[in-house]
Structure 1
Amino acid sequence: MTTSVSSPAATSEARSTGRRAGIAMMLGSALSNQLGAATGALAFPAIGPAGVVAVRQWVAAVVLVAVGRPRPHRFTWRQWWPVLCLALVFATMNLTLYTAISRIGLGLAVTLEFLGPLTVALAASRRRVDLLCALVAGAAVLALLRPRPTTDDVGLALGLCAAACWAAYILLNRVIGARLPGAEGSGAAAALSALLYLPVGAFVFAHHALTARALACAAAAGLLSSAVPFLADMLALRRVPTRFFGVFMSVHPVSAALVGWVVLGQRLPVVDWAAIGAIVAANTVSARQTAAKTAGAGN
């Protein structure tokens, strides 16, 4: 009996193919996420951001409950409290982000929200390069928040609130991941968030005419911004290192700005594009330094 042994060249080629597939999935995830947000924005005139978020939460709950299959009757209080907090974060993060999108545009809103994970990454480090990255990102934020003739302070504040929610989302997911198996915690939190939006949706739809187009756009936002990215990211993480995935998160603000421009006709001034580039660069440098440090520690 003969045993087939893969050659080093074949193994290297398989890894390269897997990484290319992972990159394609991450790009698709980012594009799907922002296309979902843009599609949801098309329903704002009919049902407003709250109506869109309500439908999105319901769709996301159906998907995440089906994937996670939570068993809440087995949860202990030590497992329940982060799930309850995550449900509130889910509800608040999406509402503040979508309301910000309606006021300041997709690109700027997502860039401000992206400060959440960037802050979490920088706060955990004591390296000089990360201090420099924090200063660059801080200067970029000041550029984005600069006074201008059409400044919408409420929209900017909502974008920063979404950033704080995303940071909380990351920290809570770490706790939940250590205390609950698989995606049970995410599924339970999504279901609770969907329940919170039942009265919100009832109120919105009682005062707004729910058209088939608005419902379709809101449902598409739930699928494109929740279901597709969740599955694509899960598959991508099987093909690329976690540290590389963290670097690739930087594509989201750029993708949002481009989708906002192409789909919604939301043009950003040159200064805003430069600020987005600075924030993306700060995250990329910090993530690459973290990857290099991790690789060095493993050798």
Structure 2
Amino acid sequence: MAVFLVLGSVISLQFGAAFASQLFGQIGAPGATALRLGIAALLLAVVVRPKFRQETVVLGMTMAGMNGTFYLALERIPLGVAVTIEFLGPLGLAAVLSRRPRDFVWVGLALAGVVILGVREYTGAKLDLVGVALALFAAVFWACYVLAGRKLATAGLGTGGLAGASLIAAALTLPYGLSTAGAALFEPKMLLLGTVVALMASAIPYTLEIKALKTLQASTFGVVLALEPAAAALAGAVLLGQHLSVVSLGAIALVITAGVGAALRKAPAPRETPAPRDADLVLPVPQ
């Protein structure tokens, strides 16, 4: 049952990203980022009192960077490809922290998949290199986010620290969002869609994963998390009409295999509780 909860979280997260990309034509990626983070931060602030400390500020900065670069990447490359490239961040971090040479094999396998995606033609045109670069920046921010999230969690700041970090992330992205989207950011339709994105990409995944992690081992969580590129490809095909070629799907499968392999080969460690991966959620341990 817990595995299905995490799987539901992964699907909800990626379909939320697909809905967010539909906002790009009206308010742009910066506007969508600001709207999503702003609404999510307000929702969290209503539920719990925000806490502010050094760990909160660092986490908020990584959240803003991760979401900002990822959404900019979605303007240029398909959702499934962007998530696949971004997944290199936590996967590479897990290998580095493990200090075991064999784990670099999984990183190499994932990198091979990303390289294939980078040179493969998509709907008659090669992938936008700027979009690929932005997704790689998002991967770096995701790795930094993992470290910052773990620091916040071990500092005992809890959900209050998460709420504070979300407010900081929203404050950092709002000026750029306003400069590109203007008053359109506050139109009823945009606010409604932004709320849907905030719920699907934040509230729902958080609730499902927290319930699942009461009984689910971290290694199993990592295996299910590795399915994110596949879920992203599915969401892109269903909602955005982004149908990938067989070769591109094979490249995504390489990254998924690397993620599953890295999770299964991890040595047993003291029990820690990882939290959902997303801009509004703390991820205390690398996946």
Query: What range describes the TM-score normalised by the shorter chain of this pair?
Result: 0.7 to 0.9
Aligned to 1:294: 268
Partner deviation per Cα, 1:228-260 (whole Å, 9 max, x = no partner): 112211111112112211121111110000110
Alignment of 1:66-77 (within 5 A): 66-72=46-52
Cα shift at 1:117: 0.9
Which letter maps to 1:82? Answer: E
- Please state if 1:54 is matched with 2:34: yes
In 2, Cα distance between equivalents of 1:64 and 1:233? 16
Which letter maps to 2:268? Answer: T
Aligned to 2:280: none
Identity %: 36
**Aligned-residue RMSD, C-alpha:** 2.2
Alignment of 1:65-104 (within 5 A): 65-72=45-52, 80-104=53-77
- The answer to whether the Cα contact below 8 Å between 1:109 and 1:159 also exists between their aligned partners in 2 is yes
- Please state if 1:269 is matched with 2:245: yes
Cα shift at 1:137: 1.5
Cα shift at 1:47: 0.6
Cα shift at 1:67: 4.5
Tell me which of 201, 206, 220 is aligned to 1:244: 220
- Please state if 1:285 is matched with 2:265: no
Which letter maps to 2:165? Answer: A
Count of aligned positions = 268
TM normalised by structure 2 equals 0.86
Tell me which of 160, 166, 186 is aligned to 1:190: 166
Aligned to 1:39: 19
In 1, Cα distance between equivalents of 2:185 and 2:61? 27
In 2, Cα distance between equivalents of 1:157 and 1:167? 16
Gaps of 5+ in 1: 1-19, 73-79
- Please state if 1:230 is matched with 2:206: yes
Which sits farther off after the overlay, 195-204 or 134-143?
195-204
Alignment of 1:133-172 (within 5 A): 133-146=106-119, 148=121, 149-172=125-148
Which letter maps to 1:34? Answer: Q
Asked which structure has the greater CA Rg, the reply is 1
In 2, Cα distance between equivalents of 1:147 and 1:289? 30
Gaps of 5+ in 2: 270-287
- The answer to whether the Cα contact below 8 Å between 1:133 and 1:282 also exists between their aligned partners in 2 is yes
In 2, Cα distance between equivalents of 1:135 and 1:202? 40
Structure 1 residues 180 and 68, CA gap change in structure 2 (3 angstroms) = farther
Cα shift at 1:215: 3.0
- The answer to whether the Cα contact below 8 Å between 2:11 and 2:231 also exists between their aligned partners in 1 is yes
Aligned to 2:284: none
SS of 2:98's equivalent in the other structure is coil
